[in-house]
Amino acid sequence: MHCCTSSSTFYSNFQQFNNMLLSLFQYFSYVSANTMAQTQTLVHKPITHKDRFPFSLLSFLRRLIYSRNVDGGSRTEEEEKVYRWLYTLAQSDKDLVFEYVRSTERGLSFKEADRRVRENGPNVPLEYSFPSWWHLLWNALFHPFNIILVVLSALSFITSDNPNGFIMLILVFISVTLRFCQEHSSSKAAMKLSEFVKCPIKVQRCAGRVVQKELIVQVDHRDVVPGDIVIFEPGDLFPGDVRLLSSKQLVVSQASLTGESWPTNKIADIRENYSTPLLDLKNICFMGTNVVSGTGTGLVISTRSNTYMSTMFSKVGKKKPPDDFEMGLKWIFYLLISVMLVVVTIMFVIDYITSKDLSKSVLFAISVASALNPQMLPLIVNTCLAKGALAMAKDRCIVKSSTSIREMGSMDILCIDKTGTLTMNHAIMVNHLDCKGLPQEKVLRFAFLNSYFKSDQKYPLDDAILAYVYSNGFRFQPSKWRKIDEIPFDFIRRRVSVIIETQETHSQFSGRFIVTKGALLEVMRICSFIENFDEDEISILSPDDYQRILNLSEDLSNEGLRVIGVAIRKLEVEQTCESSNGINRDEEDIERDMIFLGLITFFDPPKDSAKQALWRLAEKGVKAKVLTGDSLSLTTRVCKEVGIGTTHVITGPELEQLDQETFHETVQRATVLARLTPIQKLRVVQSLQTIGNHVVGFLGDGVNDSLALDTAHVSISVDSGVAIAKDMADIILLEKDLNVLVAGVEHGRLTFGNTMKYVKMSVIANLGSVISLLIAMLFFKYEPLTSGQLLTQNFIYSVGQIAIPWDKMDEEYLKTPQKWSEKGLPMFILWNGPVCTLFDVASLLFLWFYYKAFSDEKFFHSAWFVEGLLMQTLIIHLIRTEKIPFIQDIASWPVICSTLVVSTIGIAFPFTPIGKVMEFTLLPHSYYGFLVVLFVGYFTVGQVVKRLYILVYNRWL
């Protein structure tokens, strides 16, 4: 910096220095101590696991207590830091930006860059450590019912009951293997994020001990550090967040962040303000975005986990919201453990006092505990899920996470993106209008000729124009025209021109023309005249005409239409885009003083199946919300076409301004949310889950959808989606058809219903059976069943329940979302458990008073074995439906056959040689007659209780 002696220059420098101090003060006020600790780079190093260790317990307790809190529209501390850093540099002069990151206009030296890489680590967007295989295996093993089975298995081996021990270990092995494989396959999805910055980067570095020179070198993206000056051109990826230093017609695609395919212009010589949405900042380019056209240089201001992209995806790989079903299973676990500790202890004490045989009493206690535990629960649950996955595979769905099938049955809100899901994802032409909004054939004629003769690259809009002309019977006779030259489309001009001529001397179109079509503003920029079709004259394009066209374009855009402009100019015969010696002339010499003809409008139509599918989902109680990065006007039109309400709509920038309470209220109410960033999509989903207590599904196929996919209860993508979206998804659709989701919802509810049948039936049957055993033991002062008989009864009954996943559900059950109710199971047990115990006691009294069985242990064991097995087998038919079993509704054939086989085995068992070995005796025919009366009474009373329960709680399963 050189000194200036003039007072004006001195004053100017003083003011600049003063402004610099003020800006530095503002910056340091928000980063405070964090940046003071690292003044060499002014880049915030993320806290490592080692740094967090002393506070891990406190953090865990805080998460435990506030696990249901959601920040709503507010940002986290890390996000706020990144936002303020980017806004600060977007508002600052270039000289001040260099000061912030401690760099120079020549760039960093090689030595300084190496030092920063060693200090901060490689430029990786996410510092995500994946759980080891043994950690996943431990989590899969550490499941409540697995613990019970392992403990009981160990006790069985200790007491030499090896068959029962092996059976329980096999069940544990199946459950652990399925869960481990599922979690291991989905734990590495975050690695895909690194693909978005893998690219060699051109960097300006300075070298030399005495005289430093600037050198352009190519480095790996991992070696880029804050303070580097990067040089970029079409196709390059930005290796970090970049403040532009220079730009020449720079166009950048931010589709990886916003989901919008249309690129955005970036300008270096501009100073932004806080009112501009972050992703709309013109002088900031973000990590993971890429250059479409143009060139420029930029100063890297953030890398690694300090970038906007890393802040967005920092939540990738975290756990999803708690599964209500899993939480319910834990409640059952605690219930059974409590009952087990009380009842089994009492029965052990009574048996030991009576028999004085410790080993026999221990074995009997283990048998009772085994009977109390729903041993087949992991197998039944996984079988139900596997059957649902196979059924969905037939509907062209790949199920990656089987538990998502059950969640799909509980889903009551489906968040979907617009493009390709509700729409066909290709444009159709709607109309051809003049500047007053009236259809004009001449506008269509020249738009058609432009699309017909352009050869550089056919775009979807060209196909839409050609299809419109051919399908509507227009005969523009392109064979009578000859192409002379072409100026291809690029993202700087955003228009395409062709030079054509015809020899038709008697036609009004005879001669040589340049025909241009493209972005409306770019076409109007080269127009000096306008054709007034109603007056059949060409006039100068006035400011009034210009404004009228813009207003017309805005009205059409508000209707959800895409608009392009069409212009022409008649040329002299010798005028082309290429000179006689083959050297290209300046395009501006040709594309100038053109006549504006009119507008061509396009629309991405909704799918024919979308409206029907959304209606079918609504019938099943699933509400649709559209979460998209597209414009509100276009999204609103599509939603109207497919029947989604548009009374409550909002955009991402508007959400950003809301306080937390208003944010949640707005999200619950809104059906259309447009111009959302990935973080906003995430927060919308979290708000619906926690504050609204909804089970949320999310359908998306882009990088910008990955955050929402990662946190949704049911994450759905399509086979054509990007790699990270498919990795995050639980379900992948092989067709972009919402009707597939309707079938998935039905499969999910069927899976959930059959699972709940077993859960409720097994808990009631097992609790009722054990309580009945306790009562019988108090009556008879000896074991109602020996340990071998009890384990055999339990095994036969458990095997018979394997058919439950193949059962059907009531049609009424499939019409509404089904969720686990926190109070549902306890109340269900309190209402229905005593019914089972009541009729067991009735059987006990009949045996006591009618057969005097208290003096004949073998007879009582035989009678109690048959009655208990039949009671546990037949209870499924009472539980499985709201209707009257065997009269209004009959179970599926697999369940019926299973019931018949198990019942036959139970009745015939005392007559078999195995029964004699187990010390069973033959039962009189009168006892079987009594059982018929007993079970008719049981189903009658059980049905009355069922109707009362439904009347009170308005649900059954």
Question: DSSP string covering 703-762, please?
Answer: GGGHHHHHHSSEEEEETTS-HHHHHH-SEEESS--HHHHHHHHHHHHHHHHHHHHHHHHH
CA distance 152 to 88: 63
What dihedral do alpha carbons 285, 290, 293, 299 form, nearest 10°? Answer: 40
Beta strands in 77-150 (DSSP E): 108-109
Q: Which of 228, 351, 417, 434 is catalytic?
A: 417
Strand partners, 516: 497, 567
Contact 573, 566 (CB under 8 A): no
Helix H, strand E, coil C: the string for 373-385 is CCCCHHHHHHHHH
CA distances from 941 to 765, 808, 842, 928, 937 (A): 16, 24, 13, 20, 6
Mode of pairing for the β-strands spanning 714-718 and 731-733: parallel
Question: DSSP string covering 566-586, please?
Answer: EEEEEE-TT--SB-TTSPBPP
CA angle 476, 478, 479 (to 5 degrees): 130
CA distances from 245 to 94, 301, 821, 884 (A): 7, 12, 58, 77
CA terminus-to-terminus distance, the chain: 80
Contact 725, 700 (CB under 8 A): yes
Dihedral pair phi/psi, residue 775, rounded to 5°: -65, -45
Q: What is the DSSP letter of 509?
A: T
Dihedral pair phi/psi, residue 6, rounded to 5°: -70, 145
CA distance 758 to 765: 10
CA distance 643 to 328: 37
Question: DSSP string covering 270-284, please?
Answer: ----TTS-GGG-TTE
Mode of pairing for the β-strands spanning 229-232 and 201-207: antiparallel
CA distance 713 to 731: 11
Contact 421, 738 (CB under 8 A): yes
Dihedral pair phi/psi, residue 237, rounded to 5°: -100, 145
CA distance 96 to 101: 9
> Among this protein's residues, is 463 annotated catalytic?
no
CA distance 183 to 176: 11
Dihedral (CA of 790, 796, 802, 806) sign:
negative
Nearest residue to 790 via CA among 365, 178, 420: 365
Q: Maximum distance among all alpha carbons in the chain?
A: 123
CA distance 421 to 243: 36
Dihedral pair phi/psi, residue 530, rounded to 5°: -140, 140
Tell me the two tokens of residue 114.
Answer: 């190496």
Q: How many CB atoms are closer than 10 A to CB 651? A: 17
Q: What burial letters (b/e) apply to 451-470, b meaning 16+ CB within 10 Å?
A: bbbbeeeeeebbebbbebbe
**Alpha-helix runs per DSSP H in 207-344:** 255-258, 308-312, 324-339
Q: Which helix (H) or strand (E) holds 829?
A: helix 824-849
Residues with active-site annotation: 417
